[in-house]
Amino acid sequence: MVIRTQKTSSTRSILRGITAALSCGLLLAASHAQAQIREHKVKLAFVTAPDTGALNGVDKFVELVKQKSGGKIEIKVFPNGTLGGDVQLISSLQGGTIDMSVMGTNALVGVVKEFGLLDFPFLLDNDKEASSLIDGPVGKQMFDKLAAKGVVGMPISAFGFRHLHNSKRPINKADDVQGLKLRVIQSPVYVDLMGALGANPVAMSFTEVYNAMEQKAIDGMTNTALIASSMKAYEVQKYMSLTAHMYNYIVLLVSGKSWDRFNADERALITQAATEAKEFQRKKIPEYTSQALAVLAKNGMVVNDVPPAERAKLREKAKPVVDKYAGVVGEALVKEAHTELAKLRK
């Protein structure tokens, strides 16, 4: 009798658990069904090749938005700079002629100067530090200011550390940078950094870079392994030197005018999709980077590590640039960033 009583009690407990789970599931389903998700056709543009949609978070983001909206929010993607370079895309976002874009934070410095902090040379040691910085209070301050400029932004991916590749020679010593004509992003800190390292910086749109390297108008550029592989830099470049001098964050930008057209449920859906895409991408970055470096080497590029002592010399040459732009982005923000990073390094 005791055994039967225990079985009966156990059975009732299980049934109560199943009933509770079903009720919870029904409530969640009802909540989802009650979400006011309307039909939208969204234009999303970026400047890099179509295959970088797997790297910059676009592919995953589009997949998640479709899934979460039941296909009601339809995103059409325009890659390869077909709707303009980063500067033009920002203007189009502010004007509302496109709805979304993904790009590096370096392109946002002209809109919100504080984003320049994320371009500080030799600021970060690894991907974990990079993620923590942009996700934390420092990153939030930047995105809050961006919203006031007619654009809503949030992290979505990263291309990882920037290195130097060129057609002349490997960078084995700090002095090997001297005299190289290198393309940089159209951002003052990039121009100043390459100048401080002894190169001749040339600011130009990404859409012009491959032809410039092919025609020997420039010797090379500052680039991530992921984009170097995607753009087939090995066809026109010989040496990839792993200087790891900057980190390349990627963010999702939404036109403020488009954001205003989305209701609260739609905004929550987009934000959640971006967050999930970001977490997915961060897990994949090391794998993607290793694959990209392997592709470069397989196709004839000479890939070399820069010795720590020589990298330290590059960092020393970059110090005046860091000091200059600390004043531009704000000493308080720079101090807060270094405090956050110091905690991570304990």
pLDDT in tens, 210-259: 999 999 999 999 999 999 999 999 999 999 999 999 999 999 999 999 99
What is the domain-level CATH number for residue 73? Answer: 3.40.190.170
Tell me: pLDDT of 284 over 80.
yes
Instruction: Let me know if residue 302 belongs to a domain.
Output: yes
CA dist 30 and 17 (Å) reads: 20
Instruction: Let me know if residue 32 belongs to a domain.
Output: no
pLDDT in tens, 77-132: 999 999 999 999 999 999 999 999 999 999 999 999 999 999 999 999 999 999 99
Indicate the helix (H) or strand (E) that contains 303: strand 302-305
Is pLDDT larger for residue 44 or for residue 6?
44
- Identify the pLDDT of residue 33: 47
| Bridge-based pairing state of the strands 151-166 and 239-255 | antiparallel
Instruction: Let me know if residue 122 belongs to a domain.
Output: yes
3-state secondary structure 179-239: CCEEEECCCHHHHHHHHHCCCEEEECCHHHHHHHHHCCCCCEEEEEHHHHHHCCHHHCCCE
Tell me: pLDDT of 133 over 60.
yes
Domain that includes residue 332, residue range: 37-344
Instruction: Let me know if residue 20 belongs to a domain.
Output: no
User: Which pTM was predicted?
Assistant: 0.84
The strand pairing partners of 254, in sequence order, are: 100, 152
Instruction: Let me know if residue 64 belongs to a domain.
Output: yes
- Identify the pLDDT of residue 205: 86
> Confidence class of residue 24 from pLDDT cuts 50, 70 and 90?
very low
Q: Which residue type occupies 234?
A: Y
Q: What is the mean pLDDT of residues 304-329?
A: 96
Instruction: Let me know if residue 10 belongs to a domain.
Output: no
Instruction: Let me know if residue 238 belongs to a domain.
Output: yes
Instruction: Let me know if residue 161 belongs to a domain.
Output: yes
Report how many domains make up the chain.
1
- Identify the pLDDT of residue 34: 58
- Identify the pLDDT of residue 207: 86
